[in-house]
Each structure stands twice: as C-alpha cells, then as structure tokens.
Amino acid sequence: MRKTVALRKRDDNSEIMIENSTSDESGMGAALQHIAAQISDGRCTSVRLKDGRATLSLDVSGLEVAARDAMVDRLRSAVSEAAGVAEVRIAMTAQKRTRMLIAVGSGKGGVGKSTLTANLAIALTQLGRRVGIVDADIYGPSQPRLLGKDDVKPGTDGDKLIPVMSAHGVPLLSMGQLAKPGQAIAWRGPMAGRALEQLVDAMWGDVDLLLVDLPPGTGDIQLSMLQKFKPSGAIIISTPQDLALIDAARAIDLFTQSGVPIIGMVENMAGYACPHCGEVSDPFGIGGAEKEAIAMGLSFLGRIPLDSSIRLSSDAGVPPAAQGGSLADPFRAIAARLASWLDSHEQDMAST
Ligand code: ADP
C-alpha cells in the first residue's frame, strides 16, 4: 500500500510532498526524518515513529533561544501534520561548541587596543566569520561605545548573559555592562576572574571566534584568562616608541611563557598626515613595533596611521572598518592576515 506524507513549511507556506512506498511506521519515520532534516538544516538527527508517537532528536547547540524555539515550533507543526502521527515529542540535545578565543593585548593603555579589536571583529565578520567581542578591559571598557551600544544592558537566559548585538553584526559583552555607569571597576583576583567567566561563558550562539579586549599589562584578568580560558593566540599592539614597546615585550613574555602563540604585532599611531598640508610626520616614531617583532622572531601584522578620523568615527560608534574607504584598509589588511592564521590553526587542529 502506498501512503503519502504531506508536510508544510510554516514560514514560506510551501508544501513538500513525500511519497512513501511502505505503510509501516519505520518507513514513515525514515520519510519524516528526511523532511525534518531539511526543516532543521540537518539538526534533527533522528525521527522514530511508534504507535502514532513521533520522537525527534534535535541538536540545538549554539542556537539562540528565539531561533531554537522557532525551529522546535516549525518541526512540531510540520511533523504533526503527517499522516499517522498523533503525538510529537522533541528531545533537544546540545554538544559543547569549541569556540576559539583570541586575546588582543598591549603593555600600555591608550595605544589603540580597543580600536583594533572592534575594527578586526567587524572586518572578520565582513569576511564571513562569526565573531564576538569580550571587552575585559576593566580600566577602560570602551567596546559598547565603539560599537554604538552605549547604555544597552545585556539580557539573561537563566544565569547566562545574552550578548548585545551591534549594528555591525558583532555581538559584544563588556565589563562596563556589569558595573553601574561611571562606577570604578575595582575588582581584584577572584572577582575579576568571575566577571571574565560571565562574559566568556555567555549565550554566544553560533559565534565561533571571540576576540578578547584585555586590560593593558599583565594583571589579574590576564592570569584568570590564561588559567580558565587559554586563548588560541594573542595579538599585541603597540605604538612605535620605546616605552610602549618595553611594556609590550612584557605582555608578549606572559603569553609566551603560558604557551599561547603570539599571532603577531600591530603598530598603531605611526605616520601622521597633516590634514592641511599633507606632510607626513611621526610623533611617536615609525617602524619600532615592526623592528621589535622581527627582533623577537614574531610576525608583523600591519601598521595603522595616526588619523583623527579614526578617533572621531570610533567615538561615534561607527569604526572605520564599518565605513569602508581608505581608513578601513589597514584594519582589513590586518584582519586578512589574522584570518589566514586562523585558517591554518583550524587545519592544524583538525589534523591532530
Ligand atoms: P586602548 O584600548 O589601548 O586603551 P583605545 O583603542 O581606547 O586604546 O584608543 C585610545 C584613544 O586613541 C581613543 O580615543 C582612540 O579613538 C584613539 N586612537 C586609537 N588609534 C588611533 C589612531 N590610529 N589614530 C587616531 N586616534 C586613535
């Protein structure tokens, strides 16, 4: 006997018809599984049909609550319309995702670490990666402002934070969101570590790369991160002058001693082009970070010029990488180098 299973996709109202050549429940179950896999983008891994009850296994790893609930609704309504189905049960499973962490560090404050992090996240998102930002800079949490999400508090799901989505497609969580506006964040040791844990261990959904904007130096946050969430690699940013470089060398040393590879160094605020006469001068010198990188056997990822437009657009919540044009170029070039490091790192991980 031939039996027809007719299923309707709720969102576009299109109908999928499956002809099933067998009337037994196991054959029906297989037909239902085919459809359920389509509706769930392959997340429905099995469908069993017994005595009119369809039991589905759904892998909801990495889905936001709203997306998960919508998928469950779609599946339930589609399967319940199939002939021979009286009841639908959906068992949700979640595999722990391996999410890569990349630390962005500096020896000193004010050298452009947050600016670099925000622009790299945007440029990598434009390259098709799913990137989130953890702003762990307790001394100057500036990512909410840089990404145009000042004053927006994250929601919660149970005891987990839900990152705030920015207009540039980059979700973020910041130490600044855990404190009252204007309040000094005076956390030491365990408290700082717990705050970091809340930010990293949040509902990041399908984000597969977190850029962590670290506080300058080699303090409690760095140590907590190295103990609990060892990053896959670190990027160090410095201005070209000696003092900043000496501090950067300390930050590099901390990561290296902890077995975290240094992906490379970035030089910021080199080469100031006078907006009036166009003459290029170098208030902080030029090439210092590149020379230091070479001397330490590290890769040099690129140089960002000193340009007041970078500050103005960043302060306005629209970082240069989101705008395009020549100001975006140095950030995009650095992001492309980071992306190729990530590709080769992922290949290495897959082959071990
Ligand atoms: P950090 O995170 O290292 O403390 P920030 O990224 O917050 O540094 O940068 C400090 C200040 O310098 C900000 O006002 C930022 O807009 C500005 N800034 C950063 N890089 C540049 C640059 N290349 N040209 C001009 N201003 C910059």
Q: How far is the CA of 116 from the centre of ligand 1 (A)?
A: 8
27 and 68, same structural domain?
yes
CATH number of the domain enclosing 224: 3.40.50.300
297 by Cβ neighbours in 10 Å (0-12 / 13-18 / 19+) ranks as exposed
169 backbone φψ class: left, alpha, beta (φ>0; ψ -120 to 50): left
Q: Are 235 and 264 in contact (CB under 8 A)?
A: yes
Domain boundary (69, 93, 117) is at 93
Mean pLDDT across the stretch 156-165? 92
32 residue type, one letter: L
Q: CB neighbours of 241 closer than 8 A, spacing ≥ 6? A: 284, 285, 288
Regarding whether 234 and 183 lie in a shared domain, the answer is yes
55 and 136 part of one domain: no
The confidence band for 280, taking pLDDT boundaries of 50, 70 and 90, is confident
The CATH number that applies at residue 33 is: 3.30.300
- Tell me, yes or no, whether 133 and 213 share the same domain: yes
Residue to mutate (ligand 1; options 243, 311, 313, 327; most atoms within 8 A of CB) = 311
| 285 has pLDDT over 80 | no
How far does CA 32 lie from the centroid of its chain?
A: 35
Specify whether 155 is located in the same domain as 74.
no
The domain tally of the chain equals 2
**Does residue 196 sit in the same domain as residue 242?**
yes
Do 192 and 110 belong to one domain? yes
Q: Is the pLDDT of residue 275 over 90?
A: no
Which residue has a Cα nearest atom 16 of ligand 1? 311
Same domain, 72 and 108: no
3-state helix, strand, coil in the chain (%, to 5): 40, 25, 35
pLDDT (tens digit, 9 = 90+) per residue, 192-218?
Answer: 888 899 999 999 988 999 999 999 988
Residue span of the structural domain in which 59 resides: 5-93
- From 73, 93, 113, the end of a domain falls on 93
Whether ligand 1 lies within 6 angstroms of the CB of 111 is answered as yes
What confidence score (pLDDT) does residue 350 get?
A: 59
Pocket probe for ligand 1: among 104, 106, 114, 115, the residue whose CB has the most ligand atoms within 8 Å is 115
Model confidence at 235: pLDDT above 80: yes
Q: What is the mean pLDDT of residues 168-182?
A: 88
- Over residues 74-111, the pLDDT tens digits come to 999 999 998 889 999 999 887 666 789 999 999 889 99
Q: In which element (H, E) is residue 145 found?
A: helix 143-146
pLDDT given for residue 256 in this prediction: 93
139 Cβ inside 6 Å of ligand 1: no
| Shared domain check, 126 and 71 | no
- Residues 166 and 264 placed together within one structural domain of the fold: yes
| Domain boundary, last residue among 47, 69, 93 | 93
Question: Which pTM was predicted?
Answer: 0.75
Give the pLDDT score at 351: 57
pLDDT at 21 over 60: no
Ligand 1 atom nearest 237 alpha carbon? 3
Give the residue, 5 or 190, on which the prediction is more confident: 190
Asked whether 310 lines ligand 1 (CB < 6 A), one says yes
Identify whether residues 44 and 120 lie together within a single domain: no
Ligand 1 in reach of 110 Cβ (< 6 A): yes
Nearest residue (by CA) to ligand 1, atom 26, is 311
Judgement on whether residues 23 and 146 belong to the same structural domain of the protein: no
Average pLDDT, the chain: 85
pLDDT at position 26 is 67
